[in-house]
Structures are given as C-alpha cells and as structure tokens.
Amino acid sequence: MINLFRVVLVCALFTCSVAVGALYAADKWPGVDEAVVNRIAREHGREDRPPLIPTAEGDLQLFMFLMAGTVGGFIAGYYWRVLLEGKKKRTDEGSTR
Amino acid sequence: MKFRRIILMSAVLPVLLLPSNSCAMHISEGILPFSWALFWFCASAPFLALGLRNLARRSEADLASKPLVGMVAAVVFVISCMPVPVPMAGTCSHPCGTGLAAVLLGPALGVVAAAVALLIQALFLSHGGLSTWGANLFSMGVMGSFAGYAVFRGLRLAGLGVVAAAFAAGLVADWATYAGTALIMAAGISGTSPFWPLAGKIALAFVPTQLPLGIVEGAITAGMVSLLRKKRPDLLVRTVLTGIGREQR
C-alpha cells in the first residue's frame, strides 16, 4: 500500500513538474540562439532565415525532438548493449579455454 | 533515502530535460554572409576529411571499436539535442558532447560525430542551418574536440587522474565551442564595427548560460569515461588510456 502511494506520489510530482515547465518554458526559457546569437546579429543588420525544411512550426518541433531523442537514445542503448555483450563473450571464451 | 532521491529527481529532471522551442546554440540559417559561410565550410573540410580517414582506418583495423564509435556518435547527437534550462540566466542551451567524443575516440572522430549531429539537426530539427553548417562544425566539432582533447592529454601528462582530466576536457570543450561561436559570429557580422569588442560582447553574453552548462558537460564526460573504464577498459587502451602505465589507469 505504501509502495503504491509512493509510485502515485512520484508520478504526480513528475506530471506536475512537466505541466508547470510546459506552461512557462516557451516564454521564459529562450535558447541562447534567440537570446544571444539572433539578437546581436539583428543589431548588426543580419536576420536569420527560415530553415530549408520548416520543422519549427507548432508542436511539430516537439515531435521532431522527441523522435530524435528516441531514435538517438535507442541507437546509443543498442551499441551500449553490444559493447557489454562483447565483453561478456570475451569473458566466456576465456573461461572455456 | 533512496525514495527521497527518486522524489527529487522526478521533480527536477522534467524541468531540466523539457524540450521547448529554439533552445539552441548554433548559428541560425542566414546569419552569416555567404562569403563567411563558405570560408567556414572550407576551414572545416580538412578536419572532417581527416576524421573520415581515421574512421575508415579504425574500422579496418579494429572491428571491436565500431560499436563504441556508433554509441558515442549517438550520444553526441542526443546530448546536443537536449536543451537544458539555466535558472540563473533564464535561458536554455545544450551541452555539445564533443569533449566526450574527443576523449573516447580522438579529436578527428569527434569532428565526424559533430558533423553528423549538426547535419541531422539542420535538416530535420530547425536547429542551426545548412548554410551555417560549416561554421557550426568549426566551433562545435573542431574547436570543441581539439580543445577538449588537448586539455585531456595535457592534464594526463601532468599526472591527473582519467576522470578528473575527462571532466576538464568536457568543460573546456563546451566553453571553447562558445568562444568559437563568438569569434565566428563577430567575424561574420561585424561589418565596419571593431572585431574584438563585438567578439567580447557575444562571448560575455554566453557566459551566464554556458558557465554552469560547461560544468554539467564536464560531469557528463567524466561520468561516461568512468563508466566505460569500469565496464570496457580494453576499448579505451588506444585513446583514453594510451601511453599510461596500468598502475596509473
């Protein structure tokens, strides 16, 4: 019962943090490209252009970042497993000899 | 105690890892004039060619290192896609991962990892730009990797431990990347304005965000190197642990 309560508490806290962050992130947390690079470039008469493939519109960017993180994380995890299995194989081969 | 840590992490991690619009550091599309964009393409090309040659040679000589290269490239991509809010600055930026790549694979392969990450980001994530790809590659790939590697080797030669040297490498790689971005930006947009004051102004504007983020990057680098040294020290013999006696490893 206590474990269930802890799980619910952690999930609730996590969700609240995400929700609060999501409410304020876009306005309050500009990237340094916007806060520094683009701002100073504008002061010197240079404007950024829209990207070749416009994926920064609406929630599409969130989706793209999520996909990038998922695929990148999967590849990193896959190779990490290959690395550890390589070690295991070598150890097994050593022990059979 | 463990539960308290989980509670703390569940509250802090989402805020730290939350993606939001344009939390980037790369020079955006169209910021640099064509001549400067071309110049940085040409400046980065030899380093990229060297990295690709190293990759081909390494793949032929040592098949076992292939997963390590793949993993590090993926980690560089993920790390450099991860916007981290810096509360004291009120802005977001991301670590680069090139210090880690330089320490684990060598600086030339760090350039290759950065090139792949930057190209995918420019094409599909509206992060950086295709015309500024050469400039971003020079700051993140070349300056980040080589500065990180030089610091790592220097500190190892001075007798510092692997993990401490890796921390310094990650930290310096991050700061060198942003110093590079400041110089590249100043060169490209200064026009008739004096170069050094503008470069200093851009570098100073990066400081509140990148000072703490450099420390985060140092910790990531040190953690990864420490983990790999524990799990697969044999993979690091030719890079991280090269030229160092077993008793010092």
- Among candidate residues B85, B66, B91, B73, the one with its CA nearest the CA of residue B17: B85
Quickly tell me which residue has 């200093």 as its tokens. B200
The partner residue sitting opposite B71, judged by closest CB among A28, A35, A80, is: A80
Q: Report pLDDT digits (tens) over B150-163.
A: 999 999 999 999 99
Bigger pLDDT: B225 vs B83: B225
Domain membership of residue B183 (yes or no) is yes
Which residues on adjacent β-strands are paired with residue A31? B92
Partners of residue A7 in chain B, C-beta under 8 Å: none
In a domain, B15, yes or no: no
Give the DSSP letter string of chain B: -HHHHHHHHHHHHHHHH---TT---SPPTT-S-HHHHHHHHHHHHHHHHHHHHHHHHHHHH-GGGHHHHHHHHHHHHHHTT--EEETTTTEEE----HHHHHHHH-HHHHHHHHHHHHHHHHHHS--S-STTHHHHIIIIIIIHHHHHHHHHHHHHHTT--HHHHHHHHHHHHHHHHHHHHHHHHHHHH-TTS-HHHHHHHHHHHHHHHHHHHHHHHHHHHHHHHHHHHHH-GGGGTTTTTTT--GGG-
Task: For residue B150, give how far its alpha carbon lies from the nearest alpha carbon of chain A (Å).
Answer: 26
Q: Are residues A7 and A40 in the same domain?
A: yes
| Contact yes or no for A55 and B18 at CB 8 A | no
Q: Which domain holds residue A93?
A: 53-97
- Same domain for A63 and A91, yes or no, is yes
- Give domain status of residue B220, yes or no: yes
pLDDT at residue B196, rounded to an integer: 94
pLDDT of amino acid B20:
42
Together in a domain, A36 and A68: no
Residue B29, Ramachandran bin (φ over 0: left; ψ between -120 and 50: alpha; else beta): beta
> What's the DSSP call for residue A31?
B
Total domains in the fold of chain A: 2
Predicted ipTM beyond 0.90: no
Nearest-by-Cβ selection for B71 from A11, A25, A76: A76
pLDDT, tens only, B191-216: 888 999 999 999 999 999 999 999 99
A60 and A44 fall within a common domain? no
User: What is the overall mean pLDDT for chain B?
Assistant: 86
User: In this structure, are residues B48 and B143 in contact, taking their beta carbons and an 8 Å threshold?
Assistant: no
Residues of B in contact with A13 (CB under 8 A): 7, 10-11
Predicted pLDDT of residue B247 = 41
Task: Report, as an integer, the average pLDDT of A79-84.
Answer: 89
B248 within some domain: no
**CATH for B191:** 1.10.1760.20
**Are both A1 and A44 inside the same structural domain?**
yes
Note the pLDDT tens digit of each residue in B50-80: 999 999 998 888 777 788 899 999 999 999 9
Nearest to B123 among A46, A49, A53 (CB): A53
What does the pLDDT look like over A21-45, one tens digit per residue?
555 555 578 888 888 888 899 998 8
Determine the pLDDT at residue A33: 81
* Interface residue B30 vs chain A (CB under 8 A): yes
**Count of pairs with CB atoms under 8 A, one residue in A, one in B:** 199
Would the CB atoms of A13 and B11 count as touching at under 8 Å? yes
Cα B174 to Cα B213: distance, rounded to the nearest angstrom: 8
Residues of chain B with Cβ-Cβ distance to A38 below 8 Å are 28, 31
Residue B18 has pLDDT above 70, yes or no: no
A13 shares its domain with A35: yes
Task: Please tell me which of the candidates B25, B29, B78 has its beta carbon nearest to residue A31.
Answer: B25
Q: Is A45 in the same domain as A79?
A: no
pLDDT category of residue B248 using cuts at 50, 70 and 90: very low
- Whether residue A65 and residue B123 make contact (CB cut-off 8 A), yes or no, is no
Does residue A94 share a domain with residue A66? yes
Please give the tally of structural domains in chain B.
Answer: 1
Q: Is residue B43 part of a domain?
A: yes
- How far apart are the CA of A52 and the nearest CA of chain B, in angstroms? 7
Assess if residue B12 is contained within a domain: no
Contacts of B111 (CB under 8 A, 6+ apart): B44, B47, B48, B50, B51, B98, B137, B141, B142, B145
How many C-beta atoms lie closer than 10 Å to residue B158's C-beta?
A: 8
- Res B19: pLDDT: 42
Q: pLDDT band at residue B15, thresholds of 50, 70 and 90?
A: very low
Domain of B127, in residue numbers: 31-232
Question: Contact A69/B82, CB-based, under 8 Å?
Answer: yes
Q: Does B192 touch chain A (CB under 8 A)?
A: no
Residue type, A94: G
- Enumerate helices (H) and strands (E) in chain A, giving the number of each: 4, 0
Whether B122 and chain A come into contact, CB under 8 Å, resolves to yes
Nearest to B19 among A9, A11, A65 (CB): A65
Q: What is the pLDDT of residue B8?
A: 57
In this predicted structure, the answer to whether residue A58 has a pLDDT above a threshold of 90 is no
Residue B120 pLDDT grade (very low, low, confident, very high; cuts 50, 70, 90): very high
Give the residue-averaged pLDDT of B109-120.
95
CB B95 within 8 A of CB B213: yes
Give the mutation candidate from A37, A62, A84 for the B interface (greatest B CB count, under 10 A).
A37
Nearest by CB: A65 against B10, B125, B129 = B125
Do A28 and A64 lie in a common domain?
no
* Residue (of A30, A33, A13, A65) closest to B10 by Cα position: A13
Confidence band of A15 (pLDDT split at 50, 70, 90): low
Residues A26 and A57 in one domain: no
Average pLDDT over residues B120-140: 92
From chain A, the residues in CB contact with B126 under 8 A are 51, 53-56, 61, 64
Section B164-174 average pLDDT: 96
Report DSSP letters for B89-113, one per residue: TTEEE----HHHHHHHH-HHHHHHH
Task: State the virtual CA torsion across B123, B100, B214, B20 in degrees, nearest 10.
Answer: 30
- A41 and A68 both lie in a single domain: no
Question: How far, in Å, are A37, B138, B183, B190, B203 from residue B195 at the CA level?
Answer: 16, 19, 9, 6, 12
Residue B14 pLDDT > 60: no
Residues A66 and A43 in one domain: no
Cα–Cα distance, B207 to B197 (Å, whole number): 15
